[in-house]
Amino acid sequence: EVQLVESGGGLVQPGRSLRLSCAASGFTFGDYAMHWVRQAPGKGLEWVSGIRSNSGNTGYADSVKGRFTISRDNTKNTLYLQMHSLRGDDTALYYCAKDMGSTSLAPSLDFWGQGTLVTVSS
């Protein structure tokens, strides 16, 4: 059974940093692209970032480019999202999601975690 478990969320002050993790199990992690998607309170889904299976290519939403970095450790079956210079509009539930494929960043997200909440506030 595919499982994705996010962690690392919490309350953080504006301008500070936070690193999210996503522990994957139930599939061969290194064979698939992975993504982060967020949902701000009362809002819809927003794709944040994606990374190919071999870490060879990454992509970011305009709203986070230059502040967030996605990475993965295929030996630990873990996906990461390093977030810097956090702002109030980064407040959201952050989901980790598995892609159907491996070689393209274009997301078709067939399994999702339950999310980890990030609140940016002073």
Partner 1 sequence: DIQMTQSPSSLSASVGDRVTITCQASQVISKYVNWYQHKPGKAPKFLIYDASKLETGVPSRFSGSGSGTDFTLTISSLQPEDVATYYCQQYDDLPFTFGPGTSVDIK
CB 22 within 8 A of CB 6: yes
Interface pick for partner 1 out of 86, 115, 116, 120 (rule CB under 8 A): 115
CB 7 within 8 A of CB 81: no
The secondary structure element, H or E, covering residue 22 is: strand 18-25
Q: Shortest gap between Cβ of 38 and partner 1 (angstroms)?
A: 11
Measured from the CB atom, the residue of 109 and 120 that comes closer to partner 1 is 109
Residues 71-100 that bind partner 1 (CB under 8 A): 95, 97, 100
Q: Is 27 in the site for partner 1 (CB under 8 A)?
A: no
The count of residues interacting with partner 1 (CB under 8 A) is: 24
CB 100 within 8 A of CB 26: no
DSSP 90: G
Q: By the criterion CB under 8 A, which residues form the site for partner 1?
A: 37, 44-47, 50, 59-62, 95, 97, 100, 105-115
